[in-house]
């Protein structure tokens, strides 16, 4: 959610140094959203630990409070939800404003479609520009009645009623958000809902539905469920977010003399593409311990600095690393030789146009970066330019990627428009400080 102008709007990041220590990153954003949503839909008390207390997840919590669900917390990652089933949801008296959170908006569109009351979903300027037709169109095919702004964007007006029926749908783009929205709508649709994806995407919804006692049949790239069942409350432990860990994995890889251990990080195979890509570039990342929590794989990771080389990023890995490209492109900027990213046009419709915004920042850092319709080509540099000012365009992951770039810069780097970092990684500045990257928050007026 876009916070008001605050003391963290811009950062001055000290150049050079290394990252060392043993850390735990905040909870996984995708799993946190789903834990709150399924807890609210289930009957009984769901206890969550490790919940991400970032603005995006708090937006989901706030939306369910407006829908009449009693939620205690979150405090230090712990929250308790008293679910009363889907019938327990009440008409909200105001629009549900989910701020910057695409996951909240798309998943809630499916979860709330066909309810016997009207609800409006809205967000900040960035979210209200992002494509929503990819969820509203298949939901309409299931019988939902949803109004959009011109161009198929939010605000979304979910009209009361419209009995839902199951659908057999092939996703035109690989999107876990769309897959999840349709499966959540399918819970209360008549008959069977099947979603086929063109490439594997994160499967947290399928796993967590199973954990809440709701059968999901997964075969290859198709997930199916029968509507009309009920979810049973359970306990959910949320592992650390590999997407947040990515900034530390990249930072430690590019900063000579680094060694970090990251504990209890989500290690779901539909999320590990960034680590595969970094290893292909020569990164030294070791899995120390593997386990499982609440149906999700977890691991402790050790990363040490290593010389990186540019690669042609395999397109099959793109959906498995979709949120990590801002960080990965900083690794590529410090790698020897050329890196080529293709098949990644989805990056243009994330919290910002990540291809354009990264290309602009990389060029300021002295890296020849050539944006393309579906990706980017760049040639790495031994040192990045410093004394530059980089605009994150309000995109949390871009701001954090630019901050990490300072580890290889020759002079301080200023990163503007950083307030949205709190959507996914609250405490980023202090955690990076503990590891060895000095980030000074500048007052907005000094930015």
Residues placed in the known binding site: 29-30, 34, 102, 130, 175, 177, 323, 350, 354, 397
Pairing of strands 222-226, 192-196: antiparallel
- Supply the minimum distance, in Å, between the C-beta of residue 286 and ligand S3P: 26
How far is residue 381's CA from residue 333's CA, in Å, rounded to a whole number? Answer: 6
Catalytic-role residue among 203, 241, 323, 416:
323
Closest CA to 227 of 337, 110, 116, 397: 110
- Supply the minimum distance, in Å, between the C-beta of residue 324 and ligand S3P: 10
Closer residue to ligand S3P, CB minimum distance, 41 or 334: 41
Closer residue to ligand S3P, CB minimum distance, 201 or 392: 201
Cβ within 8 Å of residue 327, ≥6 positions away: 246, 247, 249, 250, 274, 397, 400, 401, 404
**Do residues 87 and 114 lie in contact, with contact meaning Cβ atoms separated by under 8 Å?**
no
Phi and psi at 295, nearest 5°, equal 80, 5
* Category of 213 on φ-ψ map: left (φ > 0), alpha (ψ -120 to 50) or beta: left
Closer residue to ligand S3P, CB minimum distance, 64 or 437: 64
- Supply the minimum distance, in Å, between the C-beta of residue 103 and ligand S3P: 4
How far is residue 191's CA from residue 111's CA, in Å, rounded to a whole number? Answer: 16
**Do residues 386 and 405 lie in contact, with contact meaning Cβ atoms separated by under 8 Å?**
no
Longest dimension (CA), the chain: 61
Question: Where on the chain is the footprint of ligand S3P (CB under 6 A)?
Answer: 30, 103, 175-177, 180, 201-202, 322-323, 346
How far is residue 356's CA from residue 12's CA, in Å, rounded to a whole number? Answer: 22
- Supply the minimum distance, in Å, between the C-beta of residue 106 and ligand S3P: 7
- Supply the minimum distance, in Å, between the C-beta of residue 40 and ligand S3P: 16
Pairing of strands 70-75, 96-97: unpaired
Measured at CB, which residue is nearest to ligand S3P?
30
Question: For residue 324, with 0-12 CB atoms within 10 Å meaning exposed, 13-18 middle and 19 or more buried, which class applies?
Answer: buried
Tokens of 297: 């794989």
Closer residue to ligand S3P, CB minimum distance, 422 or 436: 422
Closer residue to ligand S3P, CB minimum distance, 242 or 406: 242
Q: What is the DSSP letter of 382?
A: S
* Category of 97 on φ-ψ map: left (φ > 0), alpha (ψ -120 to 50) or beta: beta
Provide the 3-class DSSP secondary structure of residue 246.
Answer: helix
**Would you call 323 a catalytic residue per the annotation?**
yes
Q: For the chain, how big is the Rg over CA atoms in Å?
A: 21
Q: How far is CA 326 from the centre of its chain?
A: 12
- Name residue, tokens 């590891």: 435
How far is residue 396's CA from residue 324's CA, in Å, rounded to a whole number? Answer: 12
Residue list, annotated binding site for phosphoenolpyruvate: 29, 102, 130, 177, 354, 397
Cβ within 8 Å of residue 416, ≥6 positions away: 9, 10, 389, 390, 391, 392, 447
- Supply the minimum distance, in Å, between the C-beta of residue 65 and ligand S3P: 21
For 52-89, b/e burial (b = at least 16 CB within 10 A) is: bbbbbbbbbbbbbebbebebebbeebebebbbbebebb
Closer residue to ligand S3P, CB minimum distance, 122 or 177: 177
Closer residue to ligand S3P, CB minimum distance, 30 or 272: 30
Q: How many CB atoms lie within 10 A of CB 427?
A: 16
Q: Please give the positions annotated as active site.
A: 323
């Amino acid at each position: 959610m876009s916070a008001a102008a605050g003391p963290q709007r811009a950062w001055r990041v000290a150049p050079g140094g290394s990252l060392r220590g043993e850390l735990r990153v905040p909870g996984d954003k995708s799993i946190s959203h789903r834990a709150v949503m399924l807890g609210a839909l289930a009957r009984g008390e769901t206890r969550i630990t490790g919940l991400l207390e970032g603005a995006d997840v708090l937006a989901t919590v706030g939306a369910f409070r407006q829908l009449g669900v009693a939620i205690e917390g979150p405090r230090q990652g712990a929250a308790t939800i008293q679910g009363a089933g889907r019938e327990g949801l009440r008409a909200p008296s105001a629009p549900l404003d989910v701020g910057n959170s695409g996951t909240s908006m798309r998943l809630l569109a499916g979860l709330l479609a066909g309810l016997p009351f009207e609800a409006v979903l809205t967000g900040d300027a960035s979210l209200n520009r992002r494509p929503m037709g990819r969820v509203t169109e298949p939901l309409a095919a299931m019988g939902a009645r949803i109004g959009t702004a011109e161009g198929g964007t939010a605000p979304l007006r979910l009209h009361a009623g419209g009995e839902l029926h199951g659908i057999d749908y092939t996703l035109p783009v690989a999107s876990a958000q769309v897959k999840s929205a349709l499966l959540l709508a399918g819970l209360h649709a008549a008959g069977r809902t099947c979603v086929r994806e063109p490439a594997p995407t994160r499967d947290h919804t399928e796993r967590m539905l199973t954990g809440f006692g709701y059968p999901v049949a997964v075969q290859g790239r198709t997930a199916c469920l029968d509507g009309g069942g009920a979810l049973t409350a359970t306990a959910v432990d949320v592992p650390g977010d590999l997407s947040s860990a990515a900034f530390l994995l990249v930072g430690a890889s590019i900063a000579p003399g680094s060694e970090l251990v990251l504990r209890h990080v989500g290690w779901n195979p539909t999320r590990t593409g960034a680590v595969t890509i970094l290893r292909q570039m020569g990164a030294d990342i070791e899995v120390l311990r593997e386990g499982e929590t609440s149906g999700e794989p977890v691991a402790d990771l050790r990363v040490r600095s290593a010389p990186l080389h540019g690669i042609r990023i395999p397109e099959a890995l793109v959906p498995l690393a979709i949120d990590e490209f801002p960080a990965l492109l900083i690794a590529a900027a410090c790698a020897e030789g050329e890196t080529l990213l293709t098949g990644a046009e989805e990056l243009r419709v994330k919290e910002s146009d990540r291809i354009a915004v990264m290309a602009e920042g990389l060029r300021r850092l002295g890296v020849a970066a050539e944006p393309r319709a579906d990706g980017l080509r760049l040639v790495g540099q031994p040192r990045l330019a410093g004394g530059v000012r980089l605009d994150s365009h309000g995109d949390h992951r871009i701001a954090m990627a630019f901050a990490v770039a300072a580890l290889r810069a020759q002079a301080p780097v200023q990163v503007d428009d950083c307030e949205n970092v709190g959507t996914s990684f609250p405490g980023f500045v202090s955690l990076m400080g503990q590891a060895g990257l000095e980030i000074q928050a500048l007052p907005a007026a000094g930015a």
